[in-house]
Structure 1
């Protein structure tokens, strides 16, 4: 799912921009999921200022938001993460998740001067209490920050930069600017997703299952070769469900074949991260046997 990560100081217009993006992409026929920090805070049962004053509560909600974003990731729909997202390490985690899903991402930075942000914050009028009701009713975007919380959030805000790969492509918009919807759409749908790193990919099998299947496959290949020798077939032995053939001299006995099999298993254990695709095992093992038996 193409992801838009919105970031900015308190009262910088993040929720307004998120709603505008929701309307635009819906109008383009896209399914859009809006994940709101304000809604998540209220749904977690925390008053807004109390939440930002407690780092443990912040970690809990950030984790919930990240989990929701990962659950919704696919290659077509849009997920908008509306929140301060002031920690660059957290934005990097979202970037890695998007990259692992082979999707695209961009960052929208709502720029504003602190003095103007405080002025806009003072114009908010909702009480800082936990409400009950639907998601639209429990949002806390119109709840003002206290001066202490506002200053603390501004102080620890880590501004996104376009030269950081996890913030790129970066779109910057100030309160009086118009959003460049077409450029954002192009960044999400007209550019190729970054290839995932090996560290962000899940192995096809767990190590235990992989090695068990590897042992079984190599045993079967050795067994086929020995069975062919038993009936007098000294030529190449085809491997079941594969295009390769075992070409080992007739003088190679069961002890030698099994010793080579154990060598291959030991090698595979050491290089499990790069050879853990089982459909390649027969070809790799046959190449190993052919090269070592015909030296």
Structure 2
């Protein structure tokens, strides 16, 4: 369920912190899904510096990482996204996806000075390796960045901020700091997930004939009211098969009643379109009419 989005400059210690988190949550009995940008780049068949020099290749791997993260989201497991995540718009996409999945999320920012990060980068001695078989997993974390790529990534890095809802809660850790593991655990498991936006939710399912029956029932109620008014009955009009009565002023005409009926239908389709509410439609519709005609 929870997702940890790691962000930071090149060679800021992101993978080291990701492995700390992996061990911590594993020791607590949680299943941890570790998604590594370095592994994804190699598995896509790209050399590390070649990848960061091509925006199209970056988009491809970012999309793969996002898809993998969302596929692994569930109720209890932890998803650790070990990547630069330097684009705030991309972090916002992850936030929206996590929110839609009714999950929790936090951001871990690995802070570091650029000069120190470059020193760490120069200590790397690995070489790019592209896996030859489908079962090989290659981690190019120890491959150094070229100076040109390092400077470019630092220049376009968009630092996370705790006052942005998609970066919050934000934890900041520098190379010499101790990671706030318990605080991260509490942020993920002790807080409630944010409610998803209504626009991202699928509309409720309905029976095949539900809308037809809904329309038929409301039409019949309107017809009964108009028939009663036509014969001079100006009092409450009982509804067949129900104990409720339509109590609308005698001066309300067919046009007004049908306009209210359309409003009720539109609202019901969005919020109550389930087979379990069909038997309650007469009562709900009568309450709607009585309320709106007697304001």
TM-score of Structure 1 vs Structure 2, range by shorter chain:
0.7 to 0.9
SS at match of 1:143: coil
For residues 171-182 of structure 1, what are the structure 2 equivalents within 5 Å? 171-182=171-182
Q: Describe the SS at the equivalent of 2:238.
A: coil
Q: Secondary structure at the match of 2:18?
A: helix
2:232 counterpart residue number: none
Residue from 206, 216, 238 that aligns with 1:235: 238
The residue that corresponds to 2:234 in the other structure is none
**Contact preservation (8 Å) 2:218, 2:261:** no
1:111 alignment partner in structure 2? 111
For 1:278, which of 258, 273, 277 is the aligned residue?
A: 273
Q: Which residue of 2 aligns with 1:242?
A: none
Hey, what does 1:44 align to over in structure 2?
44
Distance 1:215 1:260, change over 3 A: farther
Change (3 A) 1:235 1:199: closer
Shift of 1:148: 0.7
TM-superposed CA distance for 1:260, in Å, is 4.3
Cα deviations by residue, 1:202-225 (Å, 9 ceiling, x for unpaired):
3335xxx79974343221454589
Alignment of 1:196-207 (within 5 A): 196-204=196-204
The alignment covers a number of residue pairs equal to 279
Do the aligned partners of residues 259 and 214 (structure 1) sit closer, same or farther apart at CA in structure 2, a change above 3 Å counting?
farther
Provide the C-alpha distance between the structure 1 equivalents of 2:171 and 2:23, rounded to a whole number of angstroms. 18
Residue 130 of structure 1: how far off its partner (Å): 1.8
Give the match for residue 15 of structure 2: 15
Q: How does 1:154-233 map to 2 (within 5 A)?
A: 154-204=154-204, 213-223=210-220
Shift of 1:262: 6.8
Partner of 1:29: 29
| Per-residue deviation, residues 59-95 of structure 1 (Å, max 9, x unmatched) | 1111111111122222321111110000011111111
2-structure distance, mates of 1:204, 1:263: 23
TM-score between both structures, scaled by the size of structure 1: 0.81
CA contact (8 A) 1:7 1:109 kept: yes
Question: CA contact under 8 A between 1:218 and 1:285: conserved in structure 2?
Answer: no
- Does the residue aligned with 2:26 lie in a helix, a strand or coil? helix
Q: Offset of 1:9 from its aligned partner?
A: 0.5
Counterpart Cα distance in 1 of 2:22 and 2:128: 26
Q: Distance in 2 between matches of 1:188 and 1:248?
A: 51
CA distance in 2, matches of 1:196, 1:278: 19
Q: Structure 2 unaligned runs (5+)? A: 228-236
Correspondent of 1:265 among 257, 262, 269: 262
- Provide the secondary structure at the position in 1 that maps to 2:69: helix
**RMSD in angstroms over aligned alpha carbons?**
3.5
Whole-Å Cα distance in 1 between the matches of residues 24 and 79 of structure 2? 13
- The DSSP-based 3-state class of the residue aligned with 1:237 is coil
List runs of 5+ in structure 1 lacking aligned partners.
Answer: 240-244
Counterpart Cα distance in 2 of 1:59 and 1:290: 56
The answer to which of 99-108 and 181-190 deviates more is: 99-108
More displaced, 25-34 or 191-200? 191-200
